[in-house]
Amino acid sequence: MASAAPRQSDSHDAARPNGTTVTLVTGDQVTLHADQRISVTPGSDRDDMTFSRSKVGDHVYVIPGDARQLVATGHLDRRLFDVTTLVEFGYDDAHTDSVPLIVTGADGAGAPRLAGNSRPLPSIDGVALAAAKNGATWEALTDGVGVRTATRGVNRIWLDGKREAVLDRSAAQIGAPAAWEAGLTGEGVRVAVLDTGVDQTHPDLAGQEVAEQNFSASPDAVDNYGHGTHVASILAGTGAKAGGKYRGIASGADILDGKVLDDYGFGSDSEIIAGMEWAAAQDADIISMSLGGADTPGLDPMEQAVETLTAEHDVLFVIAAGNGFSNDEPVASPGSAPSALTVGAVDRDDSLAPFSLTGPTVGDGAVKPDLTAPGVEIVAALHSAGTIAPPVEDGYTALSGTSMATPHVAGVAAMIAQQHPDWTAQQLKAALAGSATPTDGLTAFQQGSGRVDVPRAMTASVVAEPSSVSLGVQTWPREDDQPVTRPVTYRNLGDADVTLALTLEATDPNGDPTDAFSLSVDQLTVPAGGTASVEVTGDPRTGPADGAYSGTIVATAGDSVTRTPVGISREEESYDLTVTFRDDPAVAADAYVVSAMGLDEFSIIDGFSEDGTVTMRLPKGRYLMEYLSFTNDNSNSTQLIQPGLLLDRNQAFEVDLASASPVDVTPPGGAELGIAEIAYQVDNDGQAFGSGFLIFGDELDGVRFGQLGDPLPELAFDAWVHTGWQDAQNELYSLAWFLDRYPTDFTKVVGPDDVATLRVDIGPSAQAPSGSLFRSPQPASGSLWTAALGQDVSLPGVSTLHVTTEDIRWATSLWIFGETDLVASYDGSPLPYDSGRTYDQRINHPVFGPGLPAGDYQWAYRGADEISVDLPLFTDGAGNAGFTPTESGSTKLYLGDELVGETPLAGRGFFSVPAQAGDYRLTTEATRSADYGLSTSVGAEWTFRSSHVDGEEPLPLNVVRFQPKLDADGSAPAGRAALVPVRMQNELGALEYPKALTVDVSYDEGKTWRKAAVLVRQVAVLEHPAGASSVSLRASATDQDGNTVTQTVIRAYTLK
């Protein structure tokens, strides 16, 4: 191309900046803002790459064209392109210079060419890699230059994801004192605690630790968080600091301290797996893991490691079930591993804790957790440097979670292992699970066999193998379902024959009794030292509902009771969808993808084929469907969308690729294409879903688009075409149209009279000589997740933009980058323009201070009984919402004189408040680097009255906007008088005449202040001293309803 075309895109939801840049494993860069806006910059030698972007729920995905096939086939973890998750994990460019991967297959044989910063993970036949963000690892792990395939020997490339850390009365609750009286303390048993580290200097843990190793990203093995110390003391603490009051369950056990979580409680999958392998190699008898993350169908790397190490080392993994917002969420990984002894949490009354995750497991419908233990308000040791929670007394804190339940069970396992050193790990698991005490009213999928019971575990002489029976998932429809039968084998560990009376009680998904299970016999004799089996059959065909059926086989012999949970699930109503692609004779296609985005459940399910036929099984429901074809060299792609498919029966149909066509746009004056976005959005009862293509390069005809059918009646559908061009004079053209259908046979010829011209005066930056100026289109009313196109601009300078005007609004944004990170962003509100007219705009000019720009974003609001604030404290003089990084900040909310809550964030906070009316005071402060030169410190305080509301309402906040006349460099003359307009802006962005207004001025950066005269409550009269170098301003205003604001800007502008 003859000129530098725009090479960036930015998608726009509302108006919330704060950009975080993430480099994908492919080398492409994506910048994500808090409102889910994104910008995309292709990696080196990838200027012609296309990208598909989608928004499902709260997650934003950006997938390069050459990765689509590997994602669709499951060889490449979709999370590698889930920008939201990458930022949440801290894998953005500000926090790491590499992309952490786990590569599985033939002991990582496909990755020997990579840099030496790798870690073998033999338990999963893989390696952990720190992939360079320059795309070199992507080149090494994949073959091809268009649509990639995995290098020979590579089975799957995973994101090395993050997991997080998920006793005075509790020991007695489970009956531990009975074991202590019998001399059982876990002595001689090696228990690994894989956590945030263990403070061996704490009196309760002194002398307990026999080995330690740091696998985390933290520099040492010290527990600077406190979670691991708390867990370890529940398991094996002596209680010495409190005279034995907080004695752990197995105080004689030896602790292997594996620090796999960092000083904030997070660890990568590979770090945790490495710790698991180390603990097994250290001859651990039991490995306690109070950690977890979201489970997925099939075995993920951590679950695979549990299974392999259990089999190879005969070690028992005791793992937390995980914590969630409700009991409806499935058990976390790796607690979902079949061999793990998975632990849920109960309170002091043995009631299920509201956060304890439950079964069935994802995909296979297995029974989990295996049992429960106390996990609510557990008092145990606190590291002196721990930050996890305040102490309840010197050296101790109270925590809740399945993290606290897990070491209770690990401690019991240690005592039983001491009692029976010849038992295998799975026998230990079976004895603990089978001897548990159930809580009435809880199902097997909620509690397993019940709460761990030490006295019963000590006397257990009959164990069941397996310790729970999972009969799988029966598919819809019911007509061809068949009963499922599995054996349960009882092993008699005693020296006398035992006759077991067998009963089975079960409930259906509604909690009612069911006869969905049966036993082959109701009595069984198990010979001494031998085994005997019974068959259990699950047959839920006659049950009233789809979902999980569960029960417990109870085997009784005198006082001996062995409990074995059993479960089977009926698949929710689901159907087969078969799609056959009919090729366009004029356009080649090598591969095909069907993508179903669930409108009822936020999910993405892909189907892939090379022969043109894709069959998928999906739950009944509504879906957004996309039908994609592409060539191996990525030169041609087709995207047909179906904006709403109701799947309520098996369906098979044909998709005609010839019905699609490229968009055709001709700009004025021979401008050249730099980037285009063709996309759509569906609104489903306030929840937006969207997808589309970003096309980089100088041609539009490489991608074809089309739509099948009309949207479902209840869905609001919008589509758009947005193209960015640049002419020989470096003037930018943003040409966009909003449509009611996805574009097919779309042709537009744009002339000079069809556009408005914008002259944007961009102020200077002390930190960067250039920035990126973006234009974001929005429809005449409403807000869509559109993309904006960017142009590199010099600071200061004037840029000329031309935009289409028909039923459209445009917002101007400026992003200023330092060497690596965003140092400032300014976002204007969307405005309409008229063709043939020229408009002047300003951006990045002082005074920078608190603002409440009009637009679609609510800067401060109350929803029911929660107050949320997210204030642009560095809004520029023209009213463009401004955000910059800060060196320090705080936001506090008071009700009367009582502090409701505070955050260490500038202008941001979320607070729960009482329903009744009250007088509130909100304060915020922000200090940024002196390198900014202006507005280095900003503060504000508001008072207002608020009470419960239904829905959401903006808070009655105001800000004061200072509007001095300044030179281009943001300065005013010293030694002269100046009239400074001072305007009050309300919560809706409108200017309002204040009831009262005062202004103070400082010429020594806030050390001393003097009152300024104020004319008609709108203009401050200042006398700039001859020797002063800067002006700081403070104003207090009261609106007509009595709400007040006081705000301060240090170094509002300079004097010369």
Rounded to 5 degrees, what angle do the CA atoms 772, 775, 778 make?
150
Cα gap 662→699, rounded to integer Å = 10
Residue (of 206, 201, 277, 263) closest to 236 by Cα position:
206
Q: Which of 495-519 are b and which e, b meaning 16 or more Cβ less than 10 Å from the residue's Cβ?
A: eeebebebebebbbbeeeebebbeb
Cβ atoms < 10 Å from Cβ of 585: 8
Cβ atoms < 10 Å from Cβ of 448: 33
Q: Is 228 helix (H, G, I), strand (E, B) or coil?
A: helix
Tokens coding 708: 């099948």
Q: Is 140 helix (H, G, I), strand (E, B) or coil?
A: helix
Separation of CA 647 from chain center: 29
Tokens coding 562: 């062995």
Q: Which amino acid is at 140?
A: A
With residue 445 as reference, give the H or E element that holds it: helix 444-447
Q: What are phi and psi of 1048, to 5 degrees?
A: -130, 135
- Residue in this structure with the two tokens 């097994």, named with its chain if needed: 280
DSSP single-letter state for residue 180: H
Q: Are 243 and 229 in contact (CB under 8 A)?
A: no
3-state secondary structure 37-61: CEEEECCCCCCCCEEEEEEECCEEE
- DSSP E strand stretches across 947-1043: 952-954, 959-962, 971-972, 977-985, 991-992, 996-1002, 1010-1015, 1019-1023, 1030-1038
Q: Which residues contact 678 (CB under 8 A, 6 or more apart)?
A: 663, 692, 693, 695, 703, 705, 719, 720, 721, 722, 742, 743
Cα gap 418→454, rounded to integer Å = 13
Q: Are 217 and 275 in contact (CB under 8 A)?
A: no
Residue (of 979, 962, 919, 920) closest to 1048 by Cα position:
962
Which residues are 798's β-sheet partners?
A: 761
Separation of CA 262 from chain center: 18
Cβ atoms < 10 Å from Cβ of 783: 18
- Catalytic residues, by residue number, are 195, 227, 403
Residue (of 600, 655, 606) closest to 622 by Cα position:
600
CA distances for 865 relative to 260, 757, 910, 947, 953, angstroms = 39, 46, 11, 8, 11
Q: Are 344 and 379 in contact (CB under 8 A)?
A: no
Q: Which amino acid is at 7?
A: R
